[in-house]
Chain A
Amino acid sequence: MSKNSKWKYGFFLGCVAPNRYPMIEASIRAVFDHLGAEILELEGASCCPAPGVFRAFHIPTWLVIAARNLTIAEELGIDVVTGCNGCYGTLRDAWVELNHEPELKKMINEHLAKIGREFKGSIEPKHVVQVLYQDLGIEYLRGFVKHKFKDLKVAVHYGCHIIKPSDKRPWGGEYEDPTFLDEIIEITGAKSINYKDKFQCCGAGGAVRTAVKEISADFSREKLENIRDAGADIIIDCCPFCHLQLDLGQMEANNFYKDIIGEPYKIPVIYVTQLLGLAFGIDPNLLGLMKNHDLQQVPPFISLEPFLEKVKNQLT
């Protein structure tokens, strides 16, 4: 890793990636390192806190803990990068609100002062995909592509909070039909296919998954049906919680809705940096694509074998 990289970020991990889907964390680290974008740890960061859950319980708690997380990066003087749509939603919404409402900022800082911290608003919270697309840029990424997939149909799932609310996001107000993630995916030679209700929510967020799993699983069932109908080989996403919902959620949909779905779903789910890393020629072991353990009941719940088998000969 270059020590004087012009790109330097504090890596906000959140909860689901480090604690349930560590392959996602590993692949982000590997790809950023490969691209010469430096990552520093945000020591002692907590849950973002989750926007649909803790924000829905008590807004002041949500805001003050989010502000604390941002102060950790402010101390380092670098922007934050997160690979999770939920964390992105929280950190970005909190950042915008605190920077636009001086009274709110004052109130939050009174609380933060009790633990010797102050929110200044000096750094920007970014998404991994935002860094790839806006800071590094498509052309820069293209220069790293070593292998091109020749035959790979991908269903891209953006998720919600990377795009919306659009007035607090960096995509120029686009919310119905953005293309940034498809553009990134297509530099690998993979084809992003269109499918019905592509921008529909996965169903995990908003405390719904914790409230009633069957409802969450029905959101995913509908997405999976549309994705399968369109003939996708794999699903690509950019959020660990969507990832969980589309991976573990396939098992749940297969279980809750077995009478109506026909064949059980078994579509491999791959995180954006895992696919990019493969095209860049990074060792699949570093991208969390290979299983090196005998643990039971851990992800990925849907086998990646069919995907790895399919692309084996394309990566030459």
Chain B
Amino acid sequence: MSDNVEKYIKRKVYKSTNSRIAQKFVDAGLEKLRACINCGTCTGGCPSGRRTAYRTRSVLRRALTGDESVLEDIGIWFCSTCYTCYERCPRGIPVTDMIIKLRNIAVEEGHILDPHFVLANKVFYVTGHGVPANGEGNQKWRDLRESYGLPPLPPTVHMHPEAVKECQELMKSVGFRDLLDKIEKQKEKEKLEAEKAEANKIEDKKKEKEKK
């Protein structure tokens, strides 16, 4: 992006904030959202918006104006990536890709749901599969494969420990391992703080009772 365009975006679009996050939005290419005319076509065809409070247009608008709270909005995880909005946007904005980028920034800031984090950290990173069939707890899935005349494990990473290593090597190389470690620490800290707060609450109640 040329300096001029960048200045323009910062001034016009993110003028309400000059935060670190706004810079991240710019870096991620979310400036494409400037073409949005707020027509609402994306929201109108969204199968998730039919049943949840998630509103595609509104999420994009918040990202465009540098509203950081959008990163903590669980609604951004309700997009099923069906690409209806992407296809229908009259301004040619790759809407679904924008939502995925927004999620990337959210994760970087530590806003990732626990089940998603476990899936990335304890399943995908460890086994190379998102849904594995190896390990003790998965005997029935290997039996199921055999009942259909297939070998108990597929010829994927499951049969090739060196391939798992390759994947982990790559994930370290692109910085995913560091990101997961950072989030893990952050989550542990949050958990400790929550426990502390809970303990303090109980303590306070006790004291109150004693007073009475």
- Residues of A near any B CB (own CB < 8 A): 13, 15-16, 18-20, 22-23, 25-26, 41-47, 49-61, 64-65, 68, 111-112, 114-115, 117, 160-161, 164-166, 175-176, 200-201, 203-208, 210-212, 215-216, 218-219, 222, 285-286, 288, 291-293, 295-298
Which residue on chain A has the smallest CB distance to residue B101? A59
Contacts A50-B130, A60-B175 hold; do A206 and B51 have CB atoms under 8 A apart?
Answer: no
Closest CB-CB distance, A171 to chain B, in whole Å? 12
Give Cα distance in the complex from A293 to B154, angstroms.
Answer: 19
- Given contacts A64-B170, A164-B83, A205-B80, list 6 more A-B pairs with CB under 8 A: A18-B156, A45-B163, A53-B116, A64-B174, A68-B167, A206-B80
Chain A residues with CB under 8 A of B148: 22-23, 25-26, 288, 292
| Given A60-B174, A111-B173, A212-B78, A54-B120 contact (CB < 8 Å) | yes
Chain A CB within 10 Å — which of B74, B107, B148 has the most?
Answer: B148
The answer to whether A114 and B170 have CB atoms under 8 Å apart is yes
Residues of B within 8 Å of A298, CB to CB, are: 140-141, 144
- Tell me the minimal C-beta distance from A298 to chain B in angstroms: 5
Give the docked Cα–Cα distance between A165 and B99 (Å): 14
Pair A47/B174 contact, Cβ less than 8 Å:
no
Contact A164 B87 (CB under 8 A): yes
Interface size on B, residues (CB 8 A): 65
A-B pair number, CB within 8 angstroms: 217
User: What are 13 A-to-B residue pairs whose CB atoms are below 8 Å?
Assistant: A19-B141, A20-B141, A41-B155, A47-B124, A57-B107, A64-B171, A65-B171, A68-B167, A160-B82, A165-B86, A219-B80, A292-B148, A297-B140
Task: Look across to chain A and name the residue whose beta carbon is closest to the beta carbon of B119.
Answer: A210
A57-B107, A59-B104, A111-B170 known; A46-B128 Cβ under 8 A: yes
Q: How far is the CB of A69 from chain B (nearest CB, A)?
A: 10
A29 to B, closest residue via Cβ: B150
- Which residues of chain B are within 8 angstroms of A46 by Cβ–Cβ distance? 128-129, 156-157, 163-164, 167
Contacting pair B150 A25 (CB below 8 A): yes
The interface bits of chain B over 156-174 (1 if a CB of A lies within 8 angstroms of the residue's CB, else 0) are 1101101110110111011
Using known A-B contacts A114-B169, A219-B51, determine if residue A19 contacts B120 with beta carbons closer than 8 Å: no
Residue of B120, B129, B163, B170 near A57 (CB, 8 A) is: B120
* Docked complex Cα distance between A219 and B46 (Å): 11
Closest to A223 in B: B47
Given A115-B169, A115-B170, A200-B47, verify A206-B82 contact (CB < 8 Å).
yes
Q: Does B69 contact A (CB under 8 A)?
A: no
Q: A19-B141, A57-B120 are in contact. Are A112 and B170 (CB under 8 A)?
A: yes
| Cα-based distance from A310 to B167 in the complex (angstroms) | 47
Shortest distance from the beta carbon of B93 to any chain A beta carbon, whole Å: 12
Rounded to whole Å, the gap between the CB of B180 and the closest CB of chain A is: 9
Residues in A whose Cβ lies below 8 Å from that of B82: 160, 164, 200-201, 205-206
Complex contact B107–A208 (CB within 8 A): no
Chain B residues lying within 8 Å of A26, measured Cβ to Cβ, are: 148-150
Residue of A nearest to B74 (CB): A211
Q: Which residues of A contact B166 (CB under 8 A)?
A: 44, 68, 115, 117
Residues on the B chain within 8 Å of A53, using CB = 116, 119-120, 130
Which B residues are in CB contact (< 8 Å) with A165?
Answer: 83, 86-87, 94, 96
User: Contact between A208 and B176 (Cβ–Cβ < 8 Å)?
Assistant: no
Instruction: Give Cα A60–Cα B178 distance, bound, in whole angstroms.
Output: 13
- With known contacts A52-B80, A65-B171, A115-B170, A19–B100 Cβ distance under 8 A: no
Tell which of A41, A44, A160, A296 has the most Cβ of chain B within 10 Å. Answer: A44
CA distance A296 to B48 in the complex (A): 33
B173 touches A114 (CB 8 A): yes
When chains A and B are docked, how far (Å) is the Cα of A298 from the Cα of B84?
Answer: 32
- Shortest Cβ distance from B133 into chain A, in angstroms? 4
Check A211–B156 contact: CB distance below 8 A: no
